[in-house]
Structure 1
Amino acid sequence: MAATTTVNALSDSLLSTVPALQSSGKNWAIFEFHFTSAVDSKGKWGHFDGTLNCPKADAKDKEKEWLKDKASACNLLLSKVPDSIALKMQKQKTVAEAWKALEAEFTKKSGYAQTDLKQDFLDSTCAKKGNVCQFLKGLASKKEELASVSVEINNIDYHSTILCGIPLHYSNFASSVLSAAKLMRTDPIYSITPDALATTISEEYD
């Protein structure tokens, strides 16, 4: 009996690798990926895409099992969304309708959130009399954090943020390094990635 209870509990729960959906929507992309994969592995995705329909009324046993499975699928979603979203889901008749509404809302929210997050990165500046090395390390960490929520910073934007965010003396130094690299761009060894540029600036700072 205990073993059966444990199995049932596991079927109604998701691994910790599935992040909770943030109300801002900034982690929607990574949430959607992990959530859909986890739910599919439990054989319940049909409730979310609408392909697993309720059996006919004359098949009482199958209908009862379907309703139980539907409740389990709903619980999986409720366990990972904010309370405010869970309350909205009460208006939906099926799990598929709830998922469709959630997807529409958070795809839109995610776009706005990602734009704001990217702009915050591009506006990053080292504090006056701040530690340039720490600023550059923080910038690299922030870039990785953004990548985890599907916000990509290309090398051009990364270079620009570094140059605009550090004190003028080091910005001029970095610009001269990049200019020298461009003169030798026919040889790949002379191409400078943002991380390599940050390292060069840090060495100059030290």
Structure 2
Amino acid sequence: MGVLEHWSVDFYDFTVPDQLRNDPDVLRFGRLHERAARNGARHGTPVILSPSGRPNHRVNLFFREEKMAASEPGTWRRYAYTLIVWFDFLDAIGRSWDDATVRDVEAFKDWRLTDLRNEERIRATSFDTDRAGLNSFYSWASKRYGTGQHRDVPLLDQRRDRAAAQAAQHLTIIERHRDSATEDGRGIA
């Protein structure tokens, strides 16, 4: 397995033949799809890979237990992509997911929404998916692994952030109106 630059995600696809079915190193563990199903995977279940190229078993268990196991594949995809962006962010600041703090979450939010160094900034309303994914993951991880660090990651205030997003959207509309009025020579009185 090669080394990757970042965290990545793949998804079980039980509709295609197991491509590793003839690999002797894999055969000793049994048929991949059958083994995955016995371990709680379904078609579409995410498999998160660390930058080493190896699955992170502690993280991947999240998608196979409790309410996430019964979630729709679309939810799995959104949360999996949130987690790999979060894990990459944590790697960049030298922290692991199980040592994340309130400050890290705040810095992540700032980076996702406003940091000009982030070329893939998102809208505040899109951050709601990040928030939901992180809250769900850390709520599960706190129960599953029982470490105190997970309790340091806050359940973020959705109402305050939604109000801020609406205010930002309103300002954007005002700015667009001002810009278009200035362009056509009307100006703003």
| Higher normalized strand content (fraction of residues) | 2
Larger radius of gyration: 1
Instruction: Point out which structure has higher relative CO (alpha carbons under 8 A, 6+ apart).
Output: 1
For normalisation by structure 1, the TM-score amounts to: 0.30
For normalisation by structure 2, the TM-score amounts to: 0.32
